[in-house]
Chains A and B, each alone.
Chain A
Amino acid sequence: MPVPHVARLARNPWGLALLLVVALLGLAWLSLSWGYLAFSYQEIWEIIQGRLLGRELELGRSQIIWEVRLPRLATALAAGAALGLSGAIYQGLLLNPLADPYTLGVSSGAALGAAGVITLGFWGPAWLSNPITPTVGAFGGAAVTLLAVMALARERDGSLPPTSLILSGVIMSTILSAGLSFLKYLAGDQVSSIIFWLLGSFVARTWLDALLVTVFFLPALLVALASAVDLNVMTLGLDQARTLGVNTKGTRRRLLAVASLAAASAVAVSGIIGFVGLITPHLIRLLIGPDHRALIPLSALAGAVLLGAADWVARAVLPGEIPVGVLTALLAGPVFLVIFRRQARRLTRG
């Protein structure tokens, strides 16, 4: 038999999974040990064990690990995983390499929700001005936007054509951006707190933030894995999927819902962090091929590694801390351009 021509760099998803897990552990160690104060591997381990087992510890140093660096790392990893997962689902479902939480307007909705709550906090009752309310606002904004986009795109027979979905998403995003600009104008001198939230950052994230994302990420991952075969079949076209016994309407709705909830939870705790959801599935697809049974979990894992690494660089490597959303946009933007060019060229060559 001739050597099969396979345009895949690594044929074994388990090998890549192992590599990503090792990268994740290495990254965790780097993130926890590096910083203004350095920690050794043993000390980190003792603090984590001590906290879990309720031992007496030196308060200051153990607080830095347990209440600052570890929750921040956990939030970044969970948000990265949620963004990678939702990107993989959106791209497979809509068969559009540009589909991600941004194209569907989910992120803009979240941003407007958060900015709205922050602005209200300037004049409204005091309880509105606390770290939790922007998160709740973001979540509400994302959910309402997704429902509106789906309602706009829905055909009479209840189907959701990919092109209508993306067009509706772009239209909604434009309207929401205008709303956001209006809020910034209203906020006047206090506009910086909105802008800082929008830039995307994991500064001062708590265990609660990590938990919020995880609560939405895990069920989304399970639903996506259970639908991965059907998602593969649906890429052949909805009619073909139906003749193969796939409930295309139900599967599409279910996947859109879980991907959007996962993305919304990530935006809610981290602000706007672009490109992770867009670029991670592309990279993984390039490495192991388009099978969603491997693509979905590995995109989540790689999203966690990428965003965790970006946050570590933003916090500990660069001379002054910069918002991680700026960093991911600066680094991943050009990578995305390269991928986009390659695909465009392949399409024009036919």
Chain B
Amino acid sequence: MAEELAELAAQDLAFGYDGRLILRDLTLGFQAGGLFFLVGPNGAGKSTLLALLAGLLAPTQGRVLLRGQPLSSFSPRELARLLALAPQKSTFSLPFTVAEVVAMGRRPYLGRWGRLSPRDQEKVDLALTRLGLESLAGRPITTLSGGEAQRAVIARTLAQDTPVILLDEPTASLDIHQSLGLMGLLRELAAEGRAIIVVSHDLTLAAVYAQEMVFLKKGRLVASGPLAQTLTPELLELVFEAEARVWADEFTGGLAISWRPRPNLGPSAS
């Protein structure tokens, strides 16, 4: 993969502390217009990779390139106009309204006193609409349910209007109806020419919506590439230690996975 041409790329990336590496030897590229699913078992280093890609952690080795330039060469404001991160968990301590929280996504474009221009307001309204939050716009964010709050955080990320969007477990508190809607939206965003990178545990959704897969295990890259080539029973068993079947599903137009049941949480027979 030509990392230099990628919108966002990792080069020989490694991260660790106290002499112990959590991630190592990661070289990866995320192209514009792609919807990437980053998957792997718990503790594979997915969230750490996301934090490195977003510039929240400094790599122990290697570097992250955004449009061919190292992340450190961007000012915080420039970076925030190019790359947005929707975290998995947010804690809201103050009763800002949903509209106010989403408007905070415009922070990288605002002047010192934070006045929203008509264009900023347009982006905020569009983000609220795309996440179906219009009717909640005036509600204090502290009174929302988990799923509503998660949608508000994603709307804030959308209002940031960046070519690269990272999402950590965006469907974790959403029901199936909302998850499908969100996946459709991510597909739309990728079609607009953005690079969308999703960390997810939901392989069923990945099998339908991902264009590219990235498999991590124990801090190492196991495989990456187009969905049809990487989502194979062999690779799934290698990464997740579970027996799977994968087939083309005409109902979804994508792939489908089913798993062989296991008796308990003990070590697997293989």
Contacts and interface: CB of A to CB of B under 8 A. Distances in A.
Asked if A and B bind, the verdict is yes
The A interface is mostly helix, strand or loop, or mixed, namely loop
A290 B85 contact: no
A148 B209 CA distance: 54
Contact of B87 (A92, A237, A290): A237
Taking residues whose C-beta sits less than 8 angstroms from the other chain, chain A's interface range is 20 to 34
B104 A237 contact: no
B108 A6 contact: no
Interface in A187-240: 225-226, 228-230, 232-233, 235-237, 239-240
B80 A245 contact: yes
B114 interface: yes
Taking residues whose C-beta sits less than 8 angstroms from the other chain, chain B's interface range is 35 or more
A113 B114 CA distance: 40
Contact of A243 (B56, B91, B137): B56
B245 interface: no
A227 B84 CA distance: 21
Contact of A6 (B55, B135, B140): B140
B193 interface: no
Contact of B76 (A6, A240, A245, A293): A245
B90 A229 contact: no
Of A92, A244, A289, which is in contact with the most chain B CB atoms at under 10 Å from its CB? A244
Contacts of B55: 242-243
Nearest to A229: B114
A298 to B, nearest CB: 15
B239 to A, nearest CB: 27
Contact of A239 (B87, B96, B105): B87
Given A5-B138, A5-B139, A237-B87, A291 B96 contact: yes
A247 B76 CA distance: 7
Nearest to A91: B94
Given A229-B114, A289-B95, A293-B114, A243 B90 contact: no
B113 A245 contact: no
A232 B87 contact: no
B218 interface: no
Given A239-B56, A289-B95, A232 B77 contact: no
Interface string B32-65: 0000000000000000000100111000000000
A52 interface: no
Contact of B139 (A4, A237, A290): A4
Interface of A: 1-2, 4-7, 92, 95, 225-226, 228-230, 232-233, 235-237, 239-240, 242-247, 285, 289-291, 293
